[in-house]
Chain A
Amino acid sequence: MEDYILLAVGAILVNNILLIQYLGNCPFLGTSKSMDNATGMAMAVVFVLALAGIVTWIFEAVFLKPLGLEYIRTIVFIVVIAALVQFVEIFMKKSMPALYAGLGIFLPLITTNCAVMGVCLINIKEEYNFLEMLVSSLAYPAGFGLALILFAGLRERIIIGRVPGPLQDVAIALVTAGFMSLSFLGFKGMI
Protein backbone atom coordinates (compact mmCIF):
# COMPACT_ATOMS: atom_id res chain seq x y z
CA MET A 1 0.00 0.00 0.00
CA GLU A 2 2.77 2.37 0.99
CA ASP A 3 4.47 1.84 -2.35
CA TYR A 4 1.37 2.92 -4.21
CA ILE A 5 1.01 6.09 -2.15
CA LEU A 6 4.67 6.91 -2.76
CA LEU A 7 4.20 6.26 -6.47
CA ALA A 8 1.17 8.54 -6.56
CA VAL A 9 2.87 11.38 -4.67
CA GLY A 10 5.95 10.95 -6.82
CA ALA A 11 3.93 11.16 -10.02
CA ILE A 12 1.85 14.15 -8.93
CA LEU A 13 4.49 16.34 -7.29
CA VAL A 14 8.06 15.10 -7.46
CA ASN A 15 8.10 14.01 -11.10
CA ASN A 16 5.36 16.37 -12.22
CA ILE A 17 4.77 15.55 -15.84
CA LEU A 18 4.60 19.14 -17.08
CA LEU A 19 7.14 20.95 -14.99
CA ILE A 20 9.76 18.31 -14.29
CA GLN A 21 9.41 15.76 -17.11
CA TYR A 22 8.56 18.36 -19.77
CA LEU A 23 5.77 16.36 -21.37
CA GLY A 24 2.63 17.95 -22.75
CA ASN A 25 3.94 21.47 -22.99
CA CYS A 26 2.04 22.46 -26.14
CA PRO A 27 -1.41 22.26 -24.53
CA PHE A 28 0.17 23.68 -21.35
CA LEU A 29 0.92 26.93 -23.16
CA GLY A 30 -1.99 26.71 -25.58
CA THR A 31 -4.88 26.26 -23.17
CA SER A 32 -3.67 28.10 -20.09
CA LYS A 33 -4.83 31.55 -21.16
CA SER A 34 -8.21 31.11 -19.50
CA MET A 35 -9.23 29.10 -16.49
CA ASP A 36 -12.20 27.48 -18.31
CA ASN A 37 -10.01 26.09 -21.06
CA ALA A 38 -7.41 24.89 -18.58
CA THR A 39 -10.01 23.03 -16.51
CA GLY A 40 -11.51 21.47 -19.63
CA MET A 41 -8.15 20.32 -20.91
CA ALA A 42 -7.12 18.96 -17.52
CA MET A 43 -10.31 16.93 -17.23
CA ALA A 44 -10.01 15.62 -20.76
CA VAL A 45 -6.43 14.50 -20.12
CA VAL A 46 -7.37 12.73 -16.87
CA PHE A 47 -10.24 10.95 -18.60
CA VAL A 48 -8.34 9.87 -21.71
CA LEU A 49 -5.11 8.98 -19.97
CA ALA A 50 -6.78 6.67 -17.50
CA LEU A 51 -8.33 4.78 -20.42
CA ALA A 52 -5.26 4.96 -22.67
CA GLY A 53 -2.97 3.73 -19.91
CA ILE A 54 -5.10 0.64 -19.33
CA VAL A 55 -5.64 -0.14 -23.01
CA THR A 56 -2.02 0.31 -24.09
CA TRP A 57 -0.79 -1.72 -21.11
CA ILE A 58 -3.12 -4.58 -22.07
CA PHE A 59 -1.99 -4.35 -25.70
CA GLU A 60 1.62 -4.57 -24.58
CA ALA A 61 0.96 -7.52 -22.26
CA VAL A 62 -1.33 -9.47 -24.59
CA PHE A 63 0.02 -8.80 -28.08
CA LEU A 64 3.36 -7.05 -28.29
CA LYS A 65 5.37 -8.86 -25.64
CA PRO A 66 4.29 -12.47 -26.29
CA LEU A 67 4.68 -12.00 -30.04
CA GLY A 68 8.05 -10.23 -29.78
CA LEU A 69 6.73 -7.15 -31.58
CA GLU A 70 8.05 -4.51 -29.18
CA TYR A 71 9.77 -2.68 -31.99
CA ILE A 72 6.46 -1.51 -33.49
CA ARG A 73 5.23 -0.29 -30.10
CA THR A 74 5.30 3.35 -31.25
CA ILE A 75 2.93 2.71 -34.17
CA VAL A 76 0.60 0.48 -32.18
CA PHE A 77 0.34 2.91 -29.26
CA ILE A 78 -0.35 5.97 -31.36
CA VAL A 79 -3.00 4.14 -33.35
CA VAL A 80 -4.59 2.79 -30.17
CA ILE A 81 -4.62 6.26 -28.61
CA ALA A 82 -6.02 7.90 -31.75
CA ALA A 83 -8.75 5.26 -32.04
CA LEU A 84 -9.55 5.53 -28.35
CA VAL A 85 -9.89 9.31 -28.52
CA GLN A 86 -12.19 9.01 -31.53
CA PHE A 87 -14.27 6.38 -29.74
CA VAL A 88 -14.53 8.44 -26.56
CA GLU A 89 -15.63 11.42 -28.63
CA ILE A 90 -18.41 9.50 -30.40
CA PHE A 91 -19.54 7.83 -27.18
CA MET A 92 -19.61 11.12 -25.27
CA LYS A 93 -21.49 12.95 -28.01
CA LYS A 94 -24.28 10.37 -27.91
CA SER A 95 -24.58 9.58 -24.22
CA MET A 96 -23.06 12.48 -22.26
CA PRO A 97 -23.83 15.63 -24.24
CA ALA A 98 -23.24 17.92 -21.24
CA LEU A 99 -19.72 16.59 -20.67
CA TYR A 100 -19.09 16.61 -24.42
CA ALA A 101 -19.97 20.30 -24.59
CA GLY A 102 -17.33 20.97 -21.96
CA LEU A 103 -14.55 18.72 -23.22
CA GLY A 104 -15.46 18.43 -26.91
CA ILE A 105 -12.93 20.74 -28.50
CA PHE A 106 -10.08 19.42 -26.37
CA LEU A 107 -10.54 15.77 -27.25
CA PRO A 108 -9.08 15.79 -30.79
CA LEU A 109 -6.05 17.70 -29.47
CA ILE A 110 -5.29 14.92 -27.03
CA THR A 111 -4.13 12.52 -29.73
CA THR A 112 -1.04 14.64 -30.25
CA ASN A 113 -0.57 15.44 -26.57
CA CYS A 114 2.79 13.95 -25.63
CA ALA A 115 1.69 13.61 -22.01
CA VAL A 116 -0.72 10.80 -22.97
CA MET A 117 1.74 8.89 -25.13
CA GLY A 118 4.52 9.68 -22.67
CA VAL A 119 2.78 8.18 -19.64
CA CYS A 120 1.82 5.08 -21.64
CA LEU A 121 5.50 4.65 -22.54
CA ILE A 122 6.66 5.33 -18.97
CA ASN A 123 4.28 2.61 -17.74
CA ILE A 124 5.96 0.12 -20.05
CA LYS A 125 9.51 1.36 -19.47
CA GLU A 126 9.23 1.13 -15.69
CA GLU A 127 7.69 -2.35 -16.04
CA TYR A 128 4.73 -1.51 -13.81
CA ASN A 129 2.29 -4.25 -12.90
CA PHE A 130 -1.42 -3.65 -13.47
CA LEU A 131 -2.10 -1.82 -10.18
CA GLU A 132 1.02 0.33 -10.40
CA MET A 133 0.07 1.20 -13.98
CA LEU A 134 -3.41 2.21 -12.79
CA VAL A 135 -1.97 4.46 -10.07
CA SER A 136 0.51 6.06 -12.45
CA SER A 137 -2.12 6.60 -15.18
CA LEU A 138 -4.29 8.44 -12.67
CA ALA A 139 -1.59 10.29 -10.75
CA TYR A 140 0.37 11.70 -13.71
CA PRO A 141 -2.67 13.40 -15.28
CA ALA A 142 -3.67 14.63 -11.81
CA GLY A 143 -0.27 16.32 -11.64
CA PHE A 144 -0.84 17.65 -15.17
CA GLY A 145 -4.18 19.12 -14.09
CA LEU A 146 -2.72 20.62 -10.93
CA ALA A 147 0.13 22.34 -12.78
CA LEU A 148 -2.10 23.49 -15.65
CA ILE A 149 -4.77 25.00 -13.40
CA LEU A 150 -2.21 26.73 -11.14
CA PHE A 151 -0.47 28.07 -14.22
CA ALA A 152 -3.73 29.32 -15.75
CA GLY A 153 -4.39 31.22 -12.53
CA LEU A 154 -0.98 32.89 -12.76
CA ARG A 155 -1.37 33.64 -16.43
CA GLU A 156 -4.73 35.35 -15.95
CA ARG A 157 -2.97 37.76 -13.59
CA ILE A 158 -0.01 38.30 -15.92
CA ILE A 159 -2.31 39.41 -18.75
CA ILE A 160 -3.45 42.34 -16.58
CA GLY A 161 0.10 43.33 -15.66
CA ARG A 162 2.45 45.43 -17.78
CA VAL A 163 4.90 43.13 -19.51
CA PRO A 164 7.80 44.52 -21.61
CA GLY A 165 7.09 44.25 -25.36
CA PRO A 166 9.35 41.41 -26.48
CA LEU A 167 8.49 39.28 -23.44
CA GLN A 168 4.76 39.39 -24.06
CA ASP A 169 2.58 36.28 -24.39
CA VAL A 170 4.53 33.04 -24.75
CA ALA A 171 7.92 34.34 -23.59
CA ILE A 172 6.71 35.55 -20.20
CA ALA A 173 4.61 32.40 -19.88
CA LEU A 174 7.72 30.26 -20.31
CA VAL A 175 9.66 32.26 -17.73
CA THR A 176 6.73 31.93 -15.31
CA ALA A 177 6.61 28.20 -15.96
CA GLY A 178 10.31 28.11 -15.16
CA PHE A 179 9.76 29.57 -11.71
CA MET A 180 6.81 27.23 -11.09
CA SER A 181 9.08 24.39 -12.07
CA LEU A 182 11.66 25.68 -9.59
CA SER A 183 9.13 25.46 -6.79
CA PHE A 184 8.14 21.94 -7.85
CA LEU A 185 11.81 21.01 -7.77
CA GLY A 186 11.57 21.66 -4.04
CA PHE A 187 9.42 18.53 -3.65
CA LYS A 188 12.45 16.45 -4.63
CA GLY A 189 13.38 15.90 -0.99
CA MET A 190 10.00 14.35 -0.16
CA ILE A 191 10.77 10.86 -1.40
Chain B
Amino acid sequence: MAKTIVQEFTKGLWEEIPPFRLVLGLCPVLAVTKTVANGVGMGVAATFVLVCSNVLVSMLRNIIPSQVRVPCFIIIIATFVVVVELVMQAFTYPLFLQLGIFIPLIVVNCVILGRAEAFASKNPPVASIADGLGIGVGFTIALGALAGIREAFGAGTISVPFSDTVIQLFGPSFQPFTFMVEAPGAFVCLGLMLAVMNLAGK
Protein backbone atom coordinates (compact mmCIF):
# COMPACT_ATOMS: atom_id res chain seq x y z
CA MET B 1 0.00 0.00 0.00
CA ALA B 2 3.04 2.24 -0.11
CA LYS B 3 1.89 4.04 -3.20
CA THR B 4 2.50 7.73 -3.66
CA ILE B 5 -0.26 10.22 -4.36
CA VAL B 6 0.91 10.49 -7.98
CA GLN B 7 0.64 6.72 -8.42
CA GLU B 8 -2.87 6.74 -6.98
CA PHE B 9 -3.78 9.33 -9.59
CA THR B 10 -2.11 7.76 -12.61
CA LYS B 11 -3.44 4.26 -12.03
CA GLY B 12 -6.89 5.56 -12.98
CA LEU B 13 -5.57 6.67 -16.35
CA TRP B 14 -4.27 3.34 -17.57
CA GLU B 15 -4.01 0.39 -15.14
CA GLU B 16 -7.54 0.64 -13.80
CA ILE B 17 -9.21 2.91 -16.35
CA PRO B 18 -12.98 2.44 -16.27
CA PRO B 19 -14.83 1.07 -18.18
CA PHE B 20 -12.05 -0.89 -19.88
CA ARG B 21 -10.01 -2.32 -17.04
CA LEU B 22 -12.83 -2.15 -14.53
CA VAL B 23 -15.89 -3.19 -16.51
CA LEU B 24 -18.27 -1.08 -14.43
CA GLY B 25 -20.61 1.80 -15.04
CA LEU B 26 -21.50 0.83 -18.58
CA CYS B 27 -24.91 2.47 -18.81
CA PRO B 28 -23.72 6.09 -19.11
CA VAL B 29 -20.81 4.94 -21.27
CA LEU B 30 -23.18 3.52 -23.84
CA ALA B 31 -26.00 5.99 -23.51
CA VAL B 32 -24.45 9.45 -23.55
CA THR B 33 -21.64 8.97 -26.05
CA LYS B 34 -23.55 10.07 -29.14
CA THR B 35 -21.63 13.32 -29.15
CA VAL B 36 -18.33 14.33 -27.58
CA ALA B 37 -19.95 17.23 -25.73
CA ASN B 38 -22.43 14.91 -23.99
CA GLY B 39 -19.79 12.30 -23.23
CA VAL B 40 -17.33 14.73 -21.69
CA GLY B 41 -20.10 16.55 -19.81
CA MET B 42 -21.17 13.27 -18.27
CA GLY B 43 -17.56 12.42 -17.44
CA VAL B 44 -17.03 15.72 -15.64
CA ALA B 45 -20.27 15.34 -13.67
CA ALA B 46 -19.31 11.81 -12.64
CA THR B 47 -15.79 12.95 -11.70
CA PHE B 48 -17.17 15.65 -9.44
CA VAL B 49 -19.43 13.17 -7.65
CA LEU B 50 -16.63 10.63 -7.44
CA VAL B 51 -14.09 13.01 -5.89
CA CYS B 52 -16.57 14.53 -3.41
CA SER B 53 -18.01 11.21 -2.30
CA ASN B 54 -14.52 9.71 -1.98
CA VAL B 55 -13.44 12.57 0.32
CA LEU B 56 -16.51 12.35 2.52
CA VAL B 57 -16.48 8.56 2.71
CA SER B 58 -12.79 8.65 3.55
CA MET B 59 -13.27 11.21 6.32
CA LEU B 60 -16.16 9.24 7.81
CA ARG B 61 -14.54 5.82 7.36
CA ASN B 62 -13.91 5.33 11.09
CA ILE B 63 -17.38 6.52 12.11
CA ILE B 64 -19.61 4.53 9.74
CA PRO B 65 -20.29 1.04 11.18
CA SER B 66 -19.35 -1.59 8.63
CA GLN B 67 -22.77 -3.31 8.67
CA VAL B 68 -24.56 -0.26 7.31
CA ARG B 69 -21.74 1.14 5.19
CA VAL B 70 -23.34 0.56 1.78
CA PRO B 71 -26.56 2.49 2.54
CA CYS B 72 -24.42 5.28 4.02
CA PHE B 73 -22.25 5.43 0.88
CA ILE B 74 -25.34 5.53 -1.31
CA ILE B 75 -26.81 8.43 0.61
CA ILE B 76 -23.51 10.35 0.42
CA ILE B 77 -23.31 9.73 -3.33
CA ALA B 78 -26.98 10.65 -3.84
CA THR B 79 -26.42 13.96 -2.05
CA PHE B 80 -23.65 14.95 -4.43
CA VAL B 81 -25.66 13.77 -7.42
CA VAL B 82 -28.43 16.16 -6.40
CA VAL B 83 -25.81 18.94 -6.16
CA VAL B 84 -24.62 18.15 -9.70
CA GLU B 85 -28.19 17.97 -10.96
CA LEU B 86 -29.05 21.41 -9.60
CA VAL B 87 -25.79 22.99 -10.75
CA MET B 88 -26.19 21.60 -14.27
CA GLN B 89 -29.80 22.69 -14.43
CA ALA B 90 -28.72 26.20 -13.52
CA PHE B 91 -25.60 26.64 -15.66
CA THR B 92 -25.60 24.12 -18.50
CA TYR B 93 -29.30 23.72 -19.22
CA PRO B 94 -29.00 22.32 -22.81
CA LEU B 95 -26.60 19.62 -21.58
CA PHE B 96 -28.93 18.92 -18.66
CA LEU B 97 -31.77 18.27 -21.11
CA GLN B 98 -29.57 16.13 -23.36
CA LEU B 99 -28.38 13.87 -20.56
CA GLY B 100 -31.89 13.55 -19.11
CA ILE B 101 -32.37 10.70 -16.65
CA PHE B 102 -28.72 9.73 -16.88
CA ILE B 103 -27.78 12.50 -14.45
CA PRO B 104 -29.85 11.12 -11.54
CA LEU B 105 -28.63 7.68 -12.60
CA ILE B 106 -25.05 8.64 -11.67
CA VAL B 107 -26.19 7.57 -8.22
CA VAL B 108 -26.31 3.93 -9.32
CA ASN B 109 -23.08 4.10 -11.32
CA CYS B 110 -21.10 1.18 -9.97
CA VAL B 111 -17.74 2.89 -10.55
CA ILE B 112 -18.52 5.45 -7.85
CA LEU B 113 -19.88 3.00 -5.30
CA GLY B 114 -17.05 0.64 -6.22
CA ARG B 115 -14.37 3.25 -5.43
CA ALA B 116 -16.07 4.22 -2.16
CA GLU B 117 -16.13 0.59 -1.09
CA ALA B 118 -12.77 -0.55 -2.46
CA PHE B 119 -10.64 2.53 -1.86
CA ALA B 120 -12.06 5.47 0.08
CA SER B 121 -13.34 3.40 2.98
CA LYS B 122 -9.80 2.14 3.66
CA ASN B 123 -7.59 5.14 2.85
CA PRO B 124 -6.99 8.70 4.13
CA PRO B 125 -8.70 11.67 2.41
CA VAL B 126 -5.74 12.95 0.35
CA ALA B 127 -5.10 9.56 -1.27
CA SER B 128 -8.85 9.25 -1.87
CA ILE B 129 -8.93 12.58 -3.70
CA ALA B 130 -6.08 11.40 -5.94
CA ASP B 131 -7.83 8.10 -6.55
CA GLY B 132 -11.19 9.73 -7.32
CA LEU B 133 -9.60 12.30 -9.60
CA GLY B 134 -7.58 9.66 -11.45
CA ILE B 135 -10.48 7.30 -12.00
CA GLY B 136 -12.73 10.24 -12.89
CA VAL B 137 -10.33 11.66 -15.46
CA GLY B 138 -9.81 8.17 -16.87
CA PHE B 139 -13.58 7.74 -17.14
CA THR B 140 -13.91 11.12 -18.86
CA ILE B 141 -11.15 10.25 -21.35
CA ALA B 142 -12.80 6.91 -22.10
CA LEU B 143 -16.20 8.55 -22.63
CA GLY B 144 -14.64 11.25 -24.79
CA ALA B 145 -12.75 8.74 -26.92
CA LEU B 146 -15.76 6.50 -27.49
CA ALA B 147 -17.94 9.53 -28.21
CA GLY B 148 -15.32 10.88 -30.61
CA ILE B 149 -15.30 7.69 -32.68
CA ARG B 150 -19.08 7.41 -32.70
CA GLU B 151 -19.70 11.04 -33.54
CA ALA B 152 -17.00 11.23 -36.22
CA PHE B 153 -18.37 8.22 -38.10
CA GLY B 154 -22.03 8.62 -37.26
CA ALA B 155 -22.46 12.33 -37.89
CA GLY B 156 -19.17 13.48 -39.41
CA THR B 157 -18.69 16.09 -36.72
CA ILE B 158 -16.89 16.66 -33.42
CA SER B 159 -18.72 18.86 -30.93
CA VAL B 160 -16.49 20.80 -28.56
CA PRO B 161 -17.46 20.24 -24.91
CA PHE B 162 -19.01 23.16 -23.00
CA SER B 163 -19.49 25.36 -26.07
CA ASP B 164 -21.75 25.48 -29.08
CA THR B 165 -18.96 24.92 -31.59
CA VAL B 166 -19.30 21.92 -33.87
CA ILE B 167 -16.37 21.01 -36.10
CA GLN B 168 -17.18 19.47 -39.48
CA LEU B 169 -14.67 16.72 -40.24
CA PHE B 170 -15.52 15.75 -43.78
CA GLY B 171 -16.56 17.43 -46.99
CA PRO B 172 -20.15 17.85 -48.22
CA SER B 173 -20.21 14.45 -49.92
CA PHE B 174 -19.93 12.65 -46.55
CA GLN B 175 -22.63 10.06 -45.91
CA PRO B 176 -23.20 9.55 -42.18
CA PHE B 177 -22.77 5.99 -40.91
CA THR B 178 -25.92 6.16 -38.77
CA PHE B 179 -25.33 2.71 -37.26
CA MET B 180 -22.65 4.26 -35.03
CA VAL B 181 -24.94 6.73 -33.28
CA GLU B 182 -27.73 4.19 -32.81
CA ALA B 183 -27.81 1.73 -29.90
CA PRO B 184 -26.05 -1.19 -31.67
CA GLY B 185 -23.13 1.00 -32.68
CA ALA B 186 -22.46 1.81 -29.04
CA PHE B 187 -22.19 -1.84 -28.06
CA VAL B 188 -20.07 -2.88 -31.05
CA CYS B 189 -17.80 0.13 -30.79
CA LEU B 190 -17.21 -0.36 -27.06
CA GLY B 191 -16.57 -4.07 -27.60
CA LEU B 192 -13.97 -3.34 -30.29
CA MET B 193 -12.32 -0.64 -28.15
CA LEU B 194 -12.09 -3.13 -25.31
CA ALA B 195 -10.44 -5.62 -27.68
CA VAL B 196 -7.90 -2.98 -28.78
CA MET B 197 -7.16 -2.18 -25.12
CA ASN B 198 -6.65 -5.89 -24.42
CA LEU B 199 -4.31 -6.13 -27.38
CA ALA B 200 -2.34 -3.07 -26.21
CA GLY B 201 -2.17 -4.36 -22.66
CA LYS B 202 -0.49 -7.61 -23.61
B27 touches A114 (CB 8 A): yes
Chain A positions within 8 Å of B187 at CB level: 174-175, 177-178, 181
Within the complex, the shortest CB–CB distance from A2 to chain B, in Å, comes to 27
Known: A22-B27, A79-B75. A74 touches B188 (CB 8 A): no
Q: Looking at B81, B109, B184, which has the most chain A CB atoms within 10 Å of its CB? A: B184
Known: A74-B81, A82-B71, A174-B191. A22 touches B105 (CB 8 A): no
Interface of B is mostly: helix
- Which residue of chain B has its CB nearest to the CB of A74? B104
Known: A117-B108, A174-B194. A72 touches B27 (CB 8 A): no
- How big is the B interface, by class? 35 or more
Within the complex, the shortest CB–CB distance from B34 to chain A, in Å, comes to 11
Q: Report Cα–Cα, A49/B197, bound state, in Å.
A: 35
Interface residue tally for chain A (C-beta within 8 Å): 45
Q: When the two chains form the complex, which single residue of A23, A122, A166, A178 contacts B196, counting CB atoms closer than 8 Å? A: A166
Q: Which residues of A (100-142) have their CB < 8 Å from a CB of B?
A: 111-114, 117-118, 121-122, 125
B202 touches A22 (CB 8 A): no
Q: Report Cα–Cα, A7/B55, bound state, in Å.
A: 43
Chain B positions within 8 Å of A177 at CB level: 187, 191
Known: A75-B75, A82-B74. A26 touches B184 (CB 8 A): no
Answer yes or no: A12 CB below 8 A from chain B CBs.
no
Answer yes or no: A21 CB below 8 A from chain B CBs.
yes
- Which residue of chain B has its CB nearest to the CB of A174? B191
Interface residues of B (CB under 8 A from A): 23-27, 30-31, 70-71, 74-75, 78-79, 81-82, 85-86, 100-101, 104-105, 107-110, 113, 179, 182-192, 194-196, 198-199, 202
Q: Would you give 30 A-B contacts (Cβ < 8 Å), ordered by A?
A: A22-B26, A25-B27, A25-B30, A26-B27, A73-B104, A75-B75, A77-B104, A78-B74, A78-B75, A79-B75, A79-B78, A111-B108, A113-B108, A114-B27, A114-B105, A118-B105, A121-B101, A122-B101, A170-B23, A171-B191, A173-B191, A174-B187, A174-B190, A175-B187, A175-B192, A177-B191, A178-B189, A179-B188, A181-B183, A182-B184
